[in-house]
Chain A
């Protein structure tokens, strides 16, 4: 990425100005995930002009694009070549950008089987708080030159720097996929998912909600067909299945939406990330289970302490996704030693503390 680029030059000016005037910036792409994390603060810094796919060669399984590129444009370019982002980043709404996808670090239904957005990031070019344009990682999958700074940016909510360009590993779309449906209660579904995990089955995604488990198989034709026969269940019509997984991926299914009435009732939407083998959790409210048990969404009136305690006891953590009250923090607290490292990393990348203050943790 060239510092002479007019869009990048404008960003550099803004960073210089922010540092000079001690006026923090809110890095903003499509704004589709603004509701996530701590409340945004600072002067908006629009990233949506920094667009364009810089390089994409299907035989390399790598795509490089500027951070303001719309996710929909990127995915359309991949689809033309029969490839995809296998981790299915949630889009939430139209207009989201590549930079926002990386900064929020969210992965979709296939995450437990194919890996996360972090696993697919190969390199980034970023702008740090000293107005330096830096490139880490690269466009090759195997690369151990220096610390893996590019992956540290995933899920960092922009607190370490402005993402300018990202290289991702992409994969061919599976030859065949099929969705099976089972009418099972939570305990039975979790048990079955656990027993399948140690078997060589082409399971690509799972979602359980309200007494029903959806299981998506993907891979070689022969493998998927053999697994369909072996696992049984009811095969879902492909078009319907596609629609269903899109609603899960984008968190647009009715379950994920909180209207004013439910907010008024004190309901919040939580995401619990816990070991998949954890048994049924006892919280009040409704649940949606993904990632073979490793991601459990709860729409609940339980307080932050109760939800966090349930996640921590299972060996995981809970994030407040939607809710009226963010006063107890959005992300689970971390150990003092890790928090110290967070602050020292912030100091190393953004000493003037101008990027997305408070978006990840207060004071960061």
Chain B
């Protein structure tokens, strides 16, 4: 009894101090921002409680929606002075909880920075504000026969600022690279509100290549407000082969074989039978539902190039054991092939109350091995899993199907997911290929990195943000957390002390 009442007292004191804190922060922000850009009533801040990783929710202290760079600087200066954490937010489409609010922090929504400032068809660059949607850049550049290559599946909604934070990929990065390879310059602010630029309109800069660590830093090193991206000429033609395989092993081997023949496809995707069944029911993409796995293999370029490459691809895929190869006749059919792949996530939502999307990368040659391991895990955790892979990059998106209404299914699903990530590290891969660490994969970072490596990450963080106010608590797990998680650090596809028997 005593314990209960003392904890109730402590809680209400916490509420009072939070309210006081909120009043102080709002009062300080009102000095530098128009009042209508500051949200703090619970009903106003609810939409900001999570990103697309909806299982993790936190109520932010305050949400601000500035619309000028000067206001962003003022917010940062104010928060820095008060020691208040700041979490920058774009469209909130992230899948790893990178934009999950800090309970005593400010959400800096950059949604109003949605202008395309310049499309330059001669230098093949675009200067855009951070809140511009990924697809909007390509749409604006289309008039000049250009486009922005990275195409994460959320591209109709996600913003370029979020892409910079996560180093987003997509289905075409095998040939065209990630966000890092397609961004020239990032303009923004340091944690104390000082303006800063990383990269430039030139191809390199003097000094350390800080742009490399800014891209993919999940908003923990600086706040991005403006981005210069590279545009590339739109290929004149793209054609796609849908290849069927009777077993998963030969599909995995076919992926390696395409690469071994010196072909870099514009896209190379793989889906297992459970996945093709789910998406075909959802969008009718005319997939071969008999196949154990299908590959989508795309070629783009000039008509001459595509003709030459498609012929070589078909030859290699058939030699690798494809039971059927269908080449898209026209653009409509090509888009139909892709419609299934691009709807893999919503289709999974159609066959299960909930699904958890994983995102690890493994060396390509381990694809079949990984799929077999996942099949065993389905038995072990008594849950179904459908699989869609960026096979060309070895980037896996197994979707574990479960019902969140069942606490036990939820628990088994989490164990299943952790098992996939740890197996990926053991196979020589990484716990996140393109979705980021956020809060979701903090535990898995304990498996992939040693305490000294995690301490070095923290050193990098503090070089930019000494007080650790920008998106604190993401990406780098604390020593305590890793100790509690209790999993061993696994290195480079090897277990420590391989000579010891393990069960």
Contacts and interface: CB of A to CB of B under 8 A. Distances in A.
Interface of A: 57-62, 82, 105, 111-112, 115-116, 118-119, 128, 130, 132, 134-136, 138-149, 151-152, 154-156, 160, 171-173, 175, 194-195, 197-202, 219-223, 225-226, 273-277, 291, 294-295, 315-317, 319, 331-335, 337-339, 341-342, 344-345, 347-349, 360-361
A138 B429 contact: yes
A220 B203 contact: no
21 contacts: A58-B260, A59-B257, A82-B262, A116-B203, A116-B204, A134-B450, A139-B428, A144-B435, A145-B431, A146-B476, A148-B216, A152-B210, A154-B209, A155-B208, A171-B264, A173-B262, A200-B235, A315-B202, A331-B206, A334-B205, A345-B463
Contacts of A135: 453, 491-492
Interface stretch (B21-29, B34-42, B167-175): B167-175
Nearest to B178: A142
Interface string B153-167: 000000000000011
Nearest to B217: A147
Contacts of B93: none
Nearest to B123: A277
Contacts of A175: 262
Contacts of B209: 105, 118, 151-152, 154-156
B262 A172 contact: yes
Given A61-B259, A134-B453, A142 B361 contact: yes
A294 B203 contact: yes
A273 B434 contact: no
Contact of A57 (B122, B123, B365, B450): B365
Nearest to A161: B456
A326 to B, nearest CB: 15
Interface string B428-470: 1111111111000100110011101100110111111010000
Given A60-B364, A140-B429, A220-B304, A115 B212 contact: no
B204 A273 contact: yes
Given A134-B456, A145-B432, 11 more contacts: A134-B453, A147-B475, A148-B212, A152-B460, A154-B209, A273-B204, A276-B123, A277-B122, A291-B203, A342-B207, A360-B207
Nearest to B120: A277
Contacts, number: 265
Nearest to B203: A294
A317 B202 contact: yes
Contact of A198 (B145, B257, B308): B145
B213 A151 contact: yes
A317 B206 contact: yes
Contact of A59 (B207, B302, B364): B364
Interface in B185-203: 190, 194-197, 200-203
A57 B263 CA distance: 15
B428 A138 contact: yes
B462 to A, nearest CB: 7
Contacts of A115: 177, 181
B216 A149 contact: no
A147 B307 CA distance: 40
Contact of B180 (A119, A194, A337, A349): A119
A16 B247 CA distance: 54
Given A138-B429, A144-B434, A344-B462, A59 B256 contact: yes
B36 to A, nearest CB: 32
B390 interface: yes
B456 A349 contact: yes
A341 B210 contact: yes
B146 interface: yes
B452 A132 contact: yes
Contacts of A200: 233-236, 301-302
B124 interface: yes
Given A198-B121, A223-B302, A294-B203, A341 B262 contact: no
Contacts of A315: 200-202
A287 B201 CA distance: 21
A335 to B, nearest CB: 7
Contacts of A337: 190, 194-196
A142 B393 contact: yes
A153 to B, nearest CB: 9
Given A142-B169, A331-B207, A334-B207, A273 B432 contact: no
B305 interface: yes
